[in-house]
Amino acid sequence: MKKKTPIRLKCDEALKTGVRRIARNQIDAACRVLESNGEPHTAVHEARKSLKKIRALLRLVAPEFGRKQFRVEKLLFQDAARLLAPLRDADARVKSLDSLLKDRGLDPTNFAAVREALQADADRIARRGRRPMCRAGEILKLARSRVRRWPLGDLEWKHLVKEMRRSYSKGKKALALYQQEQTPECFHAWRKRIKELWYHLRIARALLPAAEAKRIDLFGKAGEIAGTARDFAMLRQALLAHQAEAEAALLIRAIDARLPKLQQSALKRGVRLYAETPSAFAKRLLR
């Protein structure tokens, strides 16, 4: 059974203690899976989830850092994530294809050549993936040794709320820009903002009013739908260059029929979640 590593502050510990605990736990969780002898795709998927949580945590306490130190810490985790991205993306393309075939009721045997090519690409990246995985683990161990020097001595709940307010405001602006521009780039930018805020709320869950804690899953669901849309868009891009042109064209049409519905579903949820002002959102967190 996969061991879960929660990202939740505790009511009975100092905030700075909780932040360092979460950071170390998530770094350790990422290192464990990267150093295991398990299937590379699964290891990278789990490690990248931990990295997303760490980066969201770091952003939550960013104002406590000086600009130079924050940049150093941020770049360490970004570099680790960048090393793992090719393997994750290749695996996501295969899984998105399987999901698309099932969702649209398409016969997989008619698209076997396309899937075999995508899987071969994923396997090729996985075979040489141990080196970037090891390098990512080394970077994370260096980052872990620096956690004790994070300048969190004056951290208070109001500081976290201020940063969550800023995160909410960024998401609200990104959503408005996507509604105006309707581009994949704007949609992806908004997806990252809602995902970050979801992690922030999960970290602070034990300290939130009970009513607010119930909304966390709503942000998570909107982010999940937006992430699925992003993976389909990434698959579409790969299919454009595929040699099996007839099969790829059919799949692209299927994606073009599915993608707008996913984007609209995420957008509908987002409009509800970002309906209030950032000030009203923060006020409820401080209640």
Pair of tokens at residue 79: 């570099």
Band the pLDDT of 4: cuts 50, 70, 90: low
- Final residue of a structural domain among 86, 119, 154: 154
pLDDT at 208 over 50: yes
Average pLDDT, the chain: 91
Q: At residue 121, what is the residue type?
A: D
Torsion of CA 69, 206, 269, 182, to 10 degrees: 0
Which of 50, 286, 58, 78 has the alpha carbon at shortest distance from 152? Answer: 58
Which of 276, 268, 187 has the alpha carbon at shortest distance from 232? Answer: 187
What is the per-residue pLDDT for 39? 84
Helix axes 40-60, 184-203, angle to 10 degrees: 70
132 and 192 inside one domain: no
Band the pLDDT of 153: cuts 50, 70, 90: confident
Band the pLDDT of 154: cuts 50, 70, 90: confident
Convert the pLDDT of each residue in 156-190 to its tens digit: 999 999 999 999 999 999 999 999 998 989 999 99
Nearest-angstrom CA–CA distance, 184 and 236:
12
100 and 167 inside one domain: no
Mean pLDDT within 208-234: 88
243 and 185 inside one domain: yes
Nearest-angstrom CA–CA distance, 165 and 197:
9
Convert the pLDDT of each residue in 97-108 to its tens digit: 999 999 889 999
Convert the pLDDT of each residue in 44-89 to its tens digit: 999 999 999 999 999 999 999 989 999 999 999 999 999 999 999 9
Nearest-angstrom CA–CA distance, 171 and 30:
27
- Final residue of a structural domain among 154, 186, 204: 154
pLDDT at 2 over 90: no
Nearest-angstrom CA–CA distance, 203 and 53:
9
- Final residue of a structural domain among 114, 131, 154: 154
What is the per-residue pLDDT for 1? 37
Q: What share of the chain is helix, strand, coil (3-state, %, to 5)?
A: 85, 0, 15
216 and 245 inside one domain: yes
Mean pLDDT within 30-39: 89
What is the per-residue pLDDT for 3? 57
Contact, 269 vs 229, CB < 8 A?
A: no
Number of domains the chain contains: 2
What is the per-residue pLDDT for 152? 93
- We report the CATH number of the domain holding residue 46 as 1.20.120
Residues whose CB is less than 8 angstroms from the CB of residue 273 and which lie 6 or more positions away in sequence, other chains included = 194, 215, 218, 219, 222
> If you search the block for the tokens 């075999």, which residue do you land on?
116
136 and 204 inside one domain: no
Mean pLDDT within 259-283: 93
22 and 84 inside one domain: yes
**Structural domain containing residue 203:** 156-287
Convert the pLDDT of each residue in 113-132 to its tens digit: 899 999 999 999 888 878 99
Q: At residue 276, what is the residue type?
A: E
Contact, 20 vs 60, CB < 8 A?
A: no
